[in-house]
Structure formats: structure tokens, C-alpha cells
Amino acid sequence: MLLDVQDSQLLLIDYQTRLMPSIFQAPEVVANAVRLARVAALLKVPVWATEENPAGLGGTAPELLKEIEAARGRVLPKMQFSAVADGLAEALRPEAKPAAGNARSLPKHLQKPTQAAPQRNTIIVAGCETHVCMMQTALDLLDDEFDVVIVTDASSSRTERNRDAAFDRLAGAGAELVTTEMVAFEWLRGADHPQFKAVLGLIK
């Protein structure tokens, strides 16, 4: 099934300043994360990021943080390896809003029903380390019945072996594995999209 831009949210996990120097192929990984954030901003896809123990590992890489802020994304600090344990799933599923026009004094049977918040159930996930925080978060999101898509060329670990073992396990658990360009072009769907040229410029 192709990715639906209206059903997607982008989650960028732990691209932190004190971690990235140890990450396999870090420059390429961060560059692809930056591309994802820029495409998400152009196409109005919500952007989320996490930081594991920021006091110890530092904040998000500056070039990526700039794009997250430009996309009006949120950065969630955490201490657990899985961001779901620190409340991520609740953030990804907005609470239902009371219908406009309800008066508190009205009996319940005369009040308008609560309006369900729009759901975006497909979580596009990329991050570091792939076999620890990213994998544990993705597995928990699958358990919470999100559709999880892993961007392989924007994710890594300190070693290639750990990264690839995580990809194998995630695929076996039901996550889909994609690349940055696959995400961008599936969100666009065609060359007639108003943002096609802008996105193409980011990819090239």
C-alpha cells in the first residue's frame, strides 16, 4: 500500500550531537533526515522528534533542529529507550474536542456529540540508534496499532551489523522498510502536485 500524505506523521528519533559522531554513515543519515523534515514541511505533514537524556547526549543536531522548527514540529525529551513509554503515543493521537456550541448547563442528551480529532495513523520513523531507541519505539507503536514505516537510509547505529539486525527484526514485526525518496514520491503521487518541483529540488 502506498503512503498517504494525509494519514502520515514523521517521527525523527535521537539525532543528538554527542551521539552522531559515533554513528555509522552519520552525514548521509542526517542529510536524509533533513530532507524528510523539509518535505514534511512542504506537504504539511506533522513532524515529531525525540531526544534521549538530552543532558547527557546533547540536543538535536543543529541542521536538523532548524528544519524541525521550520516545520513547526515538536521535540520530546525522554529518558526511556522507547518514546512510547514517555507518552509519545498519546501525543500522536490527539484528544477528541468538544463540539462547538455546547453549553455546560444543557443536559447531556441535548449537547452535541464530541467531535473525533482527525487521526494520522501512519508513522514514518527514522532515527538512531536503530537497534535501541528507534527499534523499541517502533515496536511499541506497532503494539499500539499504528502503521509503522521505517526510513532505512535516514536511520543507523554505531555498527552496520546492529543497524541491519534491527531492520530485519522490524520487518518481521510488521513494519515496512522504505527510503527517503520513496516517502517523498509516494506523498506526492504525481508530477502534477503543486509542490513537485520544490520536493524534486530537495531530493536532487
Catalytic residues, by residue number, are: 14, 78, 133
The widest CA-to-CA distance across the chain, in whole angstroms, is: 62
> What span, in angstroms and rounded, lies between the C-alpha atoms of 180 and 84?
24
Q: Are 8 and 45 spatial neighbours (Cβ–Cβ below 8 Å)?
A: yes
> What span, in angstroms and rounded, lies between the C-alpha atoms of 150 and 138?
8
If 0-12 CB within 10 Å is exposed, 13-18 middle and 19+ buried, where does residue 154 land?
A: buried
What is the arrangement of strands in the sheet containing 122-127, beginning at the earlier edge strand?
Answer: 74-78, 47-52, 8-13, 122-127, 147-151, 176-178
Amino acid of residue 34? V
Length of the chain: 204
Give the containing element (helix H, strand E) for 151. Answer: strand 147-151
Q: Bridge partners of 16?
A: 60
Q: Is 10 helix (H, G, I), strand (E, B) or coil?
A: strand
